[in-house]
Amino acid sequence: MNIKRHGAALGLAAASALLLSACGSDNNAPAQSGSGAASGVNVDCGGKKQLTGEGSSAQTNAIQEFVAAYAAKCQGFDVAYNPTGSGNGIKQFTSKQVDFGGTDSPLKDDEVAKAAERCQSNPAWHLPLVFGPVAVAYNLPGVDGLVLNPETTAKIFNGQVKKWNDPAIKALNGSANLPDKDIVVFFRSDESGTTDNFQKYLQASAKSAWTQGGGKQFKGGVGEGKAKSQGVSDGVKATEGAITYVESSFAKSAKLGVAKIDSGAGPVELTDATAGKAIASAKIKGQGNDMVIDLDALYASKEAGAYPLVLVTYELVCSKGYDADTTKAVKAFLGTAAGPGQDNLTKVGYVPLPKEFRTKLQDAVKAIA
């Protein structure tokens, strides 16, 4: 995953600088330590003065928003987050080097055991605090509101559909003036959680058309690879007839066309509301407060008005096993992140969590002991 990665990279030192600016905000006057009274969410501030986290860079800008909200809630408390990637986040969390980890994929079986050991024989929980929509972005002058379905999307990205006026695309777009022009596919050349999730989406929603498999390396076998989200969005912007998969913030900043997705109940435009509807109906396959999302069900959903192609990033936390000071601070920070921390995520390329989903997360945070 690489949601608006060009915006910032928040290391341990940068986090402290962020907090200084957040605490000085005239628009978000901090509450006194211990009260957490601002913004309508009951946060019990206290405990460890500085938490540490590491992991997914996809959520960097969201973490910045969470930290700023936490600074406004709990004066004098801060968080240092190092965006070194999901793998490192898991390793640092399980080895007890940080208080929480960030990852765009749930723990594997062997990692579950290591996490439980780190949490003093208690399970670790996945808390899905960050969602970002992925756009199927294109550059086709004169064609607005392009509609694609999962099967046609899969066939474009594995080379079965090669022309913009292919009958499969024409059937979805009525009287649109589709040119007799080659489709130029751009894909991520680096290992990418965005690629992983996009291919999971194709596997779940277009099983008969996408047989190439999944993973963080693109398996489609066609197109031109570019590094990072900025690379693929720049490639499409510079190439008429091009298409890619990329986080929505990059598509918007490059002013690319964004395809509507028809999963079987009509075309759905990518908006906060349509992505939020998909999140609100997402099924949780984890047990109890371990909120692992069933991505197969989410990606294969045919719910009307829901845009299913979204990425999820989890915070890994101990359900029990922290010392008392860390427990209190973790609950205060994550409670803020699941509350007012969500309010400004749209401006940095993420989807604020729907109210019902926030409530589930806040209940899970409260259950940390």
Q: How would you classify the pairing of strands 100-103 and 310-318?
A: antiparallel
Rg (CA), the chain: 21
pLDDT of residue 193: 82
Would you say 192 is a known binding-site residue?
yes
The domain spans of the chain are 5-132+282-295+311-366, 133-274
For 5-132+282-295+311-366, give the CATH class.
Answer: alpha beta
Name the residue among 233, 294, 239 with its Cα closest to residue 258.
233
- Could you tell me the CATH superfamily of domain 133-274? Periplasmic binding protein-like II (3.40.190.10)
Would you say 193 is a known binding-site residue?
yes
Would you say 16 is a known binding-site residue?
no
Alpha-carbon distance 201 to 22, whole Å? Answer: 37
Would you say 35 is a known binding-site residue?
no
Contacts of 98 (CB under 8 A, 6+ apart): 52, 53, 54, 82, 89, 92
Record the pTM.
0.79
Name the residue among 189, 265, 274, 179 with its Cα closest to residue 230.
189
Would you say 86 is a known binding-site residue?
yes
pLDDT of residue 41: 62
Would you say 194 is a known binding-site residue?
yes
> What tens-digit pLDDT sequence spans the chain (369 residues)?
444 433 333 433 333 333 323 332 223 222 333 334 334 568 999 999 999 999 998 899 899 999 999 999 999 999 999 998 888 999 999 999 999 999 988 999 999 999 999 999 999 999 999 999 999 999 999 999 999 999 999 999 999 999 999 999 999 999 899 999 999 999 999 888 889 899 999 999 999 999 999 998 999 999 999 998 999 999 999 999 999 999 998 898 899 999 999 999 999 999 999 999 999 889 999 899 999 999 999 999 999 999 999 999 999 999 999 999 999 999 999 999 999 999 999 988 899 998 989 999 999 999 999
DSSP state of 217: S
Q: How many residues does the structure list for the chain?
A: 369
133-274 shares the fold of 5-132+282-295+311-366: yes
Would you say 57 is a known binding-site residue?
yes
